[in-house]
């Protein structure tokens, strides 16, 4: 099973982007993306290194909030409200 958690684009340089998810940054390839990517976009990353799909901002924020809530419910308190994207909260409120 694969869990796809949206990552936000921090910067773009050629066919590479720096993305962030829950405070963790990594560099990914954009070579599989069919459309232009800009900072602020949310992407689905596959195999840990390839961006494959852009996700609408509201959908990404909702997914991240649900994922954070699931972790909290499982007893993982390593995430705080500050780790959620702007506008997102664990309880779904905006």
Q: Locate tokens 């705080």: which residue?
A: 80
What's residue 2's pLDDT? 65
What's residue 8's pLDDT? 97
pTM: 0.75
Domain locations along the chain: 7-55
Q: Give the CATH architecture of domain 7-55.
A: Roll (2.30)
Could you give the CA distance from residue 91 to residue 66 in angstroms, rounded to a whole number? Answer: 8
Contact 63, 6 (CB under 8 A): yes
Taking only the tens of pLDDT, the chain with its 94 residues reads 567 889 999 999 999 999 999 899 999 999 999 999 999 999 999 988 999 999 999 999 998 998 888 888 887 655 554 455 444 433 433 3
């Amino acid at each position: 099973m694969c869990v796809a958690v949206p990552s936000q684009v921090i910067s773009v340089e050629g066919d590479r982007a720096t993305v962030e998810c829950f405070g963790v940054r990594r560099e990914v390839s954009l070579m599989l993306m069919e459309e232009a990517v800009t900072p602020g976009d949310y992407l689905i990353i596959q195999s840990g290194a390839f961006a494959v799909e852009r996700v609408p901002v509201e959908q990404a924020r909702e997914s991240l909030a649900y994922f954070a809530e699931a972790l909290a419910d499982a007893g993982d308190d390593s995430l705080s409200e500050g780790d959620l994207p702007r506008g997102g909260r664990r309880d779904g409120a905006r």
